[in-house]
Chains A and B, each alone.
Chain A
Amino acid sequence: MTDTPLLQLDGLTKGYPGVMANDDVSLSIAAGEVHALLGENGAGKSTLVKMIYGLVKPDAGRMKMFGKPYDPTDPHAARTAGVGMVFQHFSLFDALTVAENIALGMENAPKMRELSRRIREVSETYGLPLAPDRTVGDLSAGERQRVEIIRCLLQDPKLLIMDEPTSVLTPQEVEILFKTLRKLSAEGTAILYISHKLGEIRALCDSATILRLGKVVGHCTPSETSAREMAEMMVGNTLQTPVRAGKTPGDVVLELKNLSARSPSAFGMPLREISVSVRRGEILGIGGVAGNGQDELLAALSGETLSPRGTILFQNSDVGLMGPTMRRAVGILSAPEERLGHAAVPDMSLTENAMLTGAAREGLDRGGLLDWRAARDFAKRIIEAFDVRTPGPANAARSLSGGNLQKFVIGREVLQRPELLVVNQPTWGVDASAAAAIRQALLDLAENGAAIVVISQDLDELMEISDRFAALNEGRLSEPRPAQELSVEEIGLMMGGSHGMEVAHV
């Protein structure tokens, strides 16, 4: 490591109306250093890296690269200066090929044939197999990320920014990624790594900076700090781990028999012969990499897609041909993954959103007329019980932060006393304390006798709350196994995480 830091940030400040996204943030990164940026949602991590990448202009403060002033006006300037970024939500174009996508992110893209050759070269050097002529829309999440990484690598970056890179990867894919990152770091590339996953940060990063509400609240060396300590620095107070009481599952509530379903969307995954049962008081965790049938399974269970007679049995009666409203009436409730637009209507108030799924079970409509007072009371109950931070039930769903809206959406279903609750990605993009609250609510619900199906890509979450674990792969569901006796390797294999396994052993 050299004495002059590769990148030095000095007092960076950026405010938006009503919030200070970054307040006097300073940090420095040396060449070859893997530096973690930690913080809850809304702590200002994304704003900070956007400033480094030239997407956002700081209100105050200075940046220096190798001791010289660095002031990128746009991403082109940042890339020219040697900064590469891999985005949290991939900045890829589905309808274009791998090579075209990469060309778009380069300053001096060579001719397509030459570019394809260089893509192959880099992908072999770093163990990231990728065919340049494939359409990105057909790639898995791990492969998509490789496209982004290779795009950065082709420009010989001095600093690589990675925003939540592992949230969509199988454990095996994470291993491949870490191998690549370690190799890059050994070659002198600095890496700024943003993640919620403290275990990964402890395994990968040399140093860490922790942000809370836009301010730097501490630095630490991850390998010498426990995950719990780091989490508490992020949250600012002590963290409660969800507790589960020992319990014995009751009668079978839900039984799927050879359930197959075609996907409603062109890029979706059909369900293939899924058979599984869930008992009263039990949480079945379903893992798997995104796009392996999660959305389709939720749709089949919630009633958004209907299923043939005899494939879905609920308390021994056939519900396959019932739509969502009828299923809600008998006690099958669900909360889909997409908060804005699927689980909640963004421009409607919380009261209206409460009315939308709660009408039948909470008696919010009488003979076709809506009882707004009851709906408002129901919304208020959700807000209170789940500590949803909002001025009141008249606010639009869109105005809530992701974590708060998620608490509202899950709370709305939990308070309707479901017999069976199906949730997809219950804590996606939600910060640690809100996630803990949601998980605790699910555990309590199971305690009180409901059957719960949790579909998630967060393995730590599934291990924490599920009684049994099964994995979705290509629309097939593996045999469920008791969660407590599974190792991470076994889970990876269940998830079919064999993408690029050959490389993992190089």
Chain B
Amino acid sequence: MDLSAINPLLFVAGFLVAATPLIFAAIGELVAEKSGVLNLGVEGMMITGAICGFATAVETGSPLLGFAAAAAGGAALSLLFAFLTQVTLANQVASGLALTLFGLGLSALLGQGYVGVKPPRLGDIDFGPLADIPVIGPILFTHDIILYLGIALVAGVWVLLRFTRAGLILRAVGESHNAAHALGYKVRRIRTLAIVFGGACAGLGGAYISLIRVPQWTEGMTAGVGWIALALVVFASWKPWRLLLGAYLFGGITQLQLNLQGAGVAIPVEYLAMSPYLITILVLVILSADKSAAPASLGRNFHASG
């Protein structure tokens, strides 16, 4: 066993990358859940985004176009969910599970010609002298733009929910759709927008895996990140900053256990592999011990009367 093989700088920079898909998927789901919609199709929207982004990037040679296509793909799939739950008033849990299964199948179909292909790389942003600062430089200033976009998105959602009228209306719809309807707010329209935002974010998260983290396409490559994102939203008590913290914790431990495996630590690989899930959930359960509860209308369909 040789712990000195782990380079701390690469390790920290690596876990920022590992956490980014999770941040995108979870922040999108957080907005959807704040509006009262429980979309269990995150995994399906992620994998659809992953293949849409991958294929577009390969065909056009532009990773940024790939990310745009990923957002569009995730959003398109989420529109199907919005149609099922907001128009035909289908059960949200069942529709979400169906969306995941559908997304997994669809992406496998779309991705048949792309196995083994190498996507174009998205370059890191050039921060100039900032990247030369010891320790901080290599950790913070050697990443691509999408990673920073993820952090900006968390900050943006926090500002939206906390300080803007649009955010207030979104929370109101998630708290009590009947009261919001009585005040004249368009419950279904607001929820549909939130669902589409969640779909676009999940798509971006998926593409971050297929274009940057792993860079390649394999079937089912999101490997449960969508489900972790769902759990993360709950354990983060629907708070954006706590969600960021949880994602970094999860990314950090994932990266650490990979490094430990590489260093040949005498713990069975299975234990190391399960540790990120266990520790993240444990920490977030302790954090979520305060009273902050779920949006009161979460998962309930809205039937307008009259």
Contact = CB atoms under 8 A, between A and B. Distances in A.
Interface string A71-104: 0001110010000000100111111100010011
A55 B182 contact: yes
B169 A104 contact: yes
Contacts of B306: 47, 50, 55-56
Interface string A94-125: 11100010011100010000000000000000
A95 B172 CA distance: 9
B135 interface: no
Contacts of B169: 104
A88 to B, nearest CB: 10
A95 B165 contact: no
Contact of A109 (B165, B185, B296): B165
Interface residues of B, number: 19
Contacts of A79: 184
Nearest to A85: B182
B296 A104 contact: no
A47 B168 CA distance: 29
A96 B295 CA distance: 11
A375 B184 CA distance: 45
B184 A76 contact: yes
Contacts of B191: none
B165 A93 contact: no
Interface in B134-190: 165, 168-169, 171-172, 175-176, 178-180, 182-185
A6 B161 CA distance: 40
A103 B168 contact: yes
A349 to B, nearest CB: 22
A346 interface: no
A94 B175 contact: yes
A266 B112 CA distance: 52
Interface in A35-91: 47, 50, 54-56, 74-76, 79, 87, 90-91
A75 B184 contact: yes
B182 A95 contact: no
Contacts of B267: none
Contacts of A266: 291, 293
A93 B179 contact: yes
A94 B306 CA distance: 24
A92 B180 CA distance: 8
A371 B112 CA distance: 60
Contacts of A50: 306
Contacts of A55: 182, 184, 306
When A and B form their complex, which 3 residue pairs have the shortest distance between CB atoms, in order from nearest?
A75-B184, A91-B179, A93-B175
Interface of B: 165, 168-169, 171-172, 175-176, 178-180, 182-185, 291, 293, 295-296, 306
8 contacts: A55-B306, A75-B184, A93-B176, A95-B293, A103-B168, A104-B168, A104-B180, A266-B293
